[in-house]
């Protein structure tokens, strides 16, 4: 009874120890297979299947502002390690080996170097990571150069799905368009129709504003813009914007800002005595419980509003309860969305290599963008990548930040799922394509017979 | 014998004849009872298939919503129905995790067994001696000897195991792993894992054909039914029913010629010819919402589905392949089996 004596927990500890060594040691030993050898045969041989994860994690050496991003990076690192442990066990059951190699990289330049090292020296067949546009572009570039798939798990920027789209890049993270459509869908249906936008004085900020307006006025009829104000995130003095909000008297203030600027704004908004509900753009950091706690502490009233998230640690259906519980057991904390994204991204890549039967980059791209390729990501509906821009279709969630929470566990309460996917009679793609940019609005045209954009 | 006495004898004889006739009608075939688990109600509904009415409701959880009855199994003689009961605390085995035995004739709970944490579904061995449970939170399956009360062993499975089936010869136990998309094969004689097989995305239920020559596995996200050859433990065919179907429950007619697949996503039941593996019909009209569990009566005349979102059981007439009745049951009706009254 040798198999029965190997309990799951013991197996996880063993794999966990290996994963821990990879992370802590950062000693990347050279594979016997040289970098110039094709990876095609790996899925069919005893060579380990390796996935490289590049995230900003807590090194203690970075500036305070960068540390906020590392909240999401640290969670992603934990999710990736757990995925390596669990799916490594599954691979072992199927007489294969799966290894997840994690590299900490606090800047785009460091991420590029780490990714190149993972590809060239460690022979990873795919990359996962990215929590800012520069890093996502750097990893995307490495992926195209090396012809290995890259799964973006933290960059929502629509530009990455449009003008900057690349053949080997796939977006697990929801797009800005998806988040804005989901927010519009939810709030407008709730009768919260007059929106005031606060945007950053950057190209990205203006792009978010334009897409927010489109979401409000074109995709979800009935919503209207009550006004907008442009602010500088590096000079957090928001007096003029606050005055404009007071004059506009909106139903909702929408902060299309980075996570740190959202906190700065919330503090001044609360101090100004304004009471219109506030939500913020859900970039990866702004979806974490660390952010929720900071928002609530900074602005007890305005910081405890509704927010869109990719995942919620209290989700119960479709195996979410079990996954959340395993993460809690493994790390002693709630599974933040970026942890979940890393876990699922590793799972998708493992499944792609298994079902496609190859680790060849071009073949994997074809598999990932094929219309009949679906994945289970614990959301109760089969998800797939849009062929034209490689964006994963998936549901999003709305949570309410709990102003009376006593622990991280009850900091957020699930309030809704967007879009609603329980109605019979529609295909998963039809349901999920209710949010985000469709092919007719996309500047990217993969999967249509052309070689790309 | 006077006229009154003659009349009394005749009436008595008539009553006896009628009673005999009535009894004979009842004895013409075994009497069935349909059992449906209500996940969020903490109960099991008992349906009389003669009238298709609920005749009893058995409480198996004193904490409805927290302690959930889900998967059902039935002993080979049909006399005992087993209910998988799990608490709402994953990763922890509590007294509320277990398998409850219900006597079909009396509709009473007659026993409870500990078979590891969070048992979601179960299967009974063909000799009726073993229970096999999928321990969802522990990524393992547990075998249990009903007579001795001993745990035969716990075996690592895929992640989030759910469906369990024992082959008709009692040799193989198949366990699906929802997250790993696998079926784990356990040798029930040697008590060891012999293989893991990849199937469709998010496999839920596995059943064997009566002759043991095939196993069928539903995949919720993949929308497929994988056909496995148990002699090699290999997938030999995949029936694709569509990713919007969200397939869960599977049931075969007694002659094995038709496979019924419950599609929670389309609120329908697919009828598949097991020879050609073609879809004969998709039954949609009057179906309850989100059918998951499904069972065929031993005489093959009716199919029952457990409908989680309409808290009901739908009844399908297998001769017309139409829904003939919907029966209100309890909150979150999850699974359904047919027991036999001796």
Rounded to the nearest angstrom, the minimum Cα separation between B315 and chain A is 20
- The percentage of residues in chain B with a pLDDT greater than 70, rounded to a whole number, is 90
List the single best residue of A7, A15, A91, A376 to mutate versus B (max B Cβ within 10 A). A376
CA nearest neighbour of B156 among B130, B123, B125, B194: B194
Q: Do A229 and A269 touch, CB atoms closer than 8 A?
A: no
Rounded to the nearest angstrom, the minimum Cα separation between B151 and chain A is 11
Say how many C-beta atoms besides its own lie within 10 A of residue A303's C-beta: 25
Beta pairing, strands B333-341 & B31-38 = antiparallel
Pick from A3, A90, A372: which is nearest to B180 by CB? A90
Contact status of A60 with chain B (Cβ, < 8 Å): no
Contact status of A433 with chain B (Cβ, < 8 Å): no
In sequence order, the 6+-apart residues with CB closer than 8 A to the CB of A391 are: A161, A171, A174, A175, A178, A385, A436
| B184–A351 CB contact, under 8 Å | no
Pick from A11, A326, A374: which is nearest to B201 by CB? A374
Nearest CA in chain B to A373: B222
Contact status of B142 with chain A (Cβ, < 8 Å): no
| pLDDT < 70 positions in chain A | 1-46, 58-68, 422-425, 447-453
| B180–A319 CB contact, under 8 Å | no
Contact status of A17 with chain B (Cβ, < 8 Å): no
The SS3 of residue A371 is coil
Q: Do A123 and A50 touch, CB atoms closer than 8 A?
A: yes
Q: Which of A356-365, B2-11, B139-148, B214-223 is predicted with the least confidence, judged by mean pLDDT?
A: B2-11
pLDDT-derived band at B11, boundaries 50, 70, 90: very low
Q: Residue B4: is its pLDDT beyond 80?
A: no
- C-alpha triplet A396, A397, A398: angle, nearest 5°: 135
Residue-averaged pLDDT of chain B: 90
B180 CB neighbours in chain A (<8 A) are: 87, 90, 93
pLDDT-derived band at B39, boundaries 50, 70, 90: very high
CA nearest neighbour of B201 among B184, B185, B217: B217
For A38, B227, B320, B322, the CA distances from B270, given in Å and listed in that order, are 44, 15, 14, 11
B154 CB neighbours in chain A (<8 A) are: 4, 7
Q: Do A242 and A218 touch, CB atoms closer than 8 A?
A: no
pLDDT-derived band at B93, boundaries 50, 70, 90: confident
* Predicted structure pTM score: 0.85
Q: Edge-to-edge, what's the strand order for the sheet holding B258-263? A: B247-252, B258-263, B268-273, B279-283
> DSSP of B120-148, one letter per residue?
EEEEE-TTS-EEEEEEGGGTEEEEEETTT
B160 CB neighbours in chain A (<8 A) are: 319, 322
Q: Summarize pLDDT for A33-49 with one digit per residue, the tens.
A: 233 333 344 555 568 99
Query: What is the predicted pLDDT for the residue at A46?
Result: 66
Q: Residue B7: is its pLDDT beyond 80?
A: no
Omega before residue A419 within 30° of 0, cis: yes
The ipTM value here is 0.79
Q: Residue B10: is its pLDDT beyond 50?
A: no
Q: Summarize pLDDT for B133-154 with one digit per residue, the tens.
A: 999 888 999 999 999 999 999 9
Rounded to the nearest angstrom, the minimum Cα separation between A385 and chain B is 14
Rounded to the nearest angstrom, the minimum Cα separation between B257 and chain A is 28
Query: What is the predicted pLDDT for the residue at A40?
Result: 43
B178 CB neighbours in chain A (<8 A) are: 319, 376
| B153–A90 CB contact, under 8 Å | no
Query: What is the predicted pLDDT for the residue at A222?
Result: 80
Query: What is the predicted pLDDT for the residue at A112?
Result: 97
Contact status of B140 with chain A (Cβ, < 8 Å): yes
d(CA B320, CA B312): 21
Rounded to the nearest angstrom, the minimum Cα separation between A421 and chain B is 9
Element (H, E) at A93: helix A64-93
| A4–B266 CB contact, under 8 Å | no
d(CA A348, CA A111): 22
Pick from B191, B193, B198: which is nearest to A94 by CB? B198
Query: What is the predicted pLDDT for the residue at A60?
Result: 56
CA nearest neighbour of B290 among A421, A393, A377, A374: A421
pLDDT-derived band at B91, boundaries 50, 70, 90: low
Tokens coding B183: 């079926």
Query: What is the predicted pLDDT for the residue at B217?
Result: 98
Q: Do B162 and B136 touch, CB atoms closer than 8 A?
A: yes
Q: Residue B86: is its pLDDT beyond 70?
A: yes
């Amino acid at each position: 009874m040798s198999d029965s004596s190997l309990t799951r927990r013991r197996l996880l500890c063993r794999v966990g120890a290996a994963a821990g060594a990879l992370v802590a040691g950062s000693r990347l030993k050279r594979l016997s297979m040289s970098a110039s050898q094709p990876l095609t045969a790996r899925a069919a041989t005893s060579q380990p299947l390796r996935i490289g994860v590049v995230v900003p994690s807590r090194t203690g050496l970075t500036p305070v502002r960068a540390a906020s991003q590392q909240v999401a990076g640290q969670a992603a690192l934990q999710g990736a390690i757990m995925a390596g442990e669990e799916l490594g066990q599954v691979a072992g059951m199927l007489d294969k080996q799966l290894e997840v190699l994690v590299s900490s990289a606090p800047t785009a330049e460091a991420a590029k170097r780490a990714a190149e090292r993972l590809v060239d020296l460690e022979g990873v067949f795919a990359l996962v990571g990215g929590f800012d546009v520069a890093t996502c572009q750097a990893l995307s570039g490495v992926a195209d150069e090396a012809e290995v798939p890259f799964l973006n798990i933290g960059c929502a920027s629509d530009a990455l799905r449009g003008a900057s789209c690349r053949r080997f890049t796939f977006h697990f993270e929801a797009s800005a368009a998806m988040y804005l459509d989901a927010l519009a869908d939810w709030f407008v249906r709730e009768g919260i129709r007059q929106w005031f936008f606060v945007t950053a004085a950057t190209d990205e900020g203006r792009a978010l504003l334009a897409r927010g307006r489109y979401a409000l006025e074109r995709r979800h009829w009935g919503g209207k813009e009550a006004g907008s104000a442009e602010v500088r995130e590096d000079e957090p003095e928001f007096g003029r914007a606050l005055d404009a909000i007071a004059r506009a008297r909106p139903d909702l203030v929408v902060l299309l800002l980075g996570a740190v600027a959202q906190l700065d704004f919330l503090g001044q908004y609360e101090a100004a005595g304004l009471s219109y509900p506030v939500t913020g753009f859900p970039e990866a950091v702004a979806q974490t419980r660390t952010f929720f706690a900071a928002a609530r502490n900074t602005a007890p009233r305005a910081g405890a509003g509704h927010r869109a998230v990719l995942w919620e640690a209290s989700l119960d259906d479709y195996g979410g309860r079990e996954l959340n519980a395993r993460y809690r057991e493994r790390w002693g904390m709630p599974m933040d969305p970026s942890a979940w994204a890393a876990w699922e991204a590793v799972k998708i890549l493992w499944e792609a290599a298994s079902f496609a039967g190859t680790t060849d980059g071009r073949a994997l791209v074809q598999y990932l963008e094929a219309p009949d390729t679906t994945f289970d990501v614990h959301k109760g509906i089969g998800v797939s990548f849009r062929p034209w821009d490689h964006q994963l279709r998936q549901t999003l969630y709305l949570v309410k930040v709990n102003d009376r929470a006593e622990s991280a566990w009850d900091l957020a309460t699930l309030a809704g799922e967007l879009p609603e996917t329980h109605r019979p009679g529609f295909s998963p793609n039809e349901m999920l394509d209710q949010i985000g940019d469709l092919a007719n609005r996309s500047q990217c045209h993969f999967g249509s017979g052309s070689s790309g954009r | 014998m006077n006229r009154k006495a003659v009349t009394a004898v005749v009436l008595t004889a008539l009553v006896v004849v009628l009673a005999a006739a009535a009894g004979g009608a009842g004895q013409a075939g075994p009497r069935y009872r349909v059992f449906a688990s209500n996940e969020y109600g903490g109960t099991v509904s008992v349906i009389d298939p003669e009238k298709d009415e609920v005749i009893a409701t058995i409480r198996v959880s004193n904490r409805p919503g927290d302690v959930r009855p889900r998967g059902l199994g039935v002993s080979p003689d049909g006399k005992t129905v087993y209910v998988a009961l799990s608490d709402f605390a994953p990763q922890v085995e509590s007294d509320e995790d277990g398998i409850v035995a219900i006597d079909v004739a009396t509709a009473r709970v007659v026993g409870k067994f500990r078979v590891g944490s969070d048992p979601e579904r179960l299967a009974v061995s063909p000799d009726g001696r073993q229970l096999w449970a999928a321990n969802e939170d522990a990524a393992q399956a547990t075998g249990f000897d009903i007579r001795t009360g001993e745990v035969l062993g716990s075996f690592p499975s895929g992640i989030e195991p759910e469906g369990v089936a024992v082959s008709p010869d009692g040799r193989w136990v198949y366990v699906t792993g929802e997250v790993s998309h696998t079926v784990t094969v356990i040798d029930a004689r040697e008590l060891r894992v012999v293989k893991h097989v990849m199937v469709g995305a998010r496999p839920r239920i596995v059943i064997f054909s009566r002759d043991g020559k095939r196993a069928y596995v539903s995949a919720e996200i993949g929308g497929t039914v994988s056909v496995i050859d148990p002699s090699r433990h290999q997938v030999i065919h995949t029936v694709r029913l569509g990713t919007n179907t969200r397939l869960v429950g599977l049931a075969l007619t007694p002659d094995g010629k038709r496979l019924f697949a419950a599609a929670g996503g389309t609120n329908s039941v697919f009828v598949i010819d097991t020879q050609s593996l073609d879809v004969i019909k998709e039954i949609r009209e009057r179906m309850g919402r989100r059918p998951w569990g499904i069972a065929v009566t031993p005489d093959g005349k009716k199919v029952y589905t457990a409908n989680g979102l309409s808290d009901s059981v739908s009844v399908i007439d297998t001769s017309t392949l139409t829904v003939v009745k919907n029966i209100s049951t309890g909150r979150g009706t999850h699974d359904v089996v047919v027991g036999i009254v001796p």
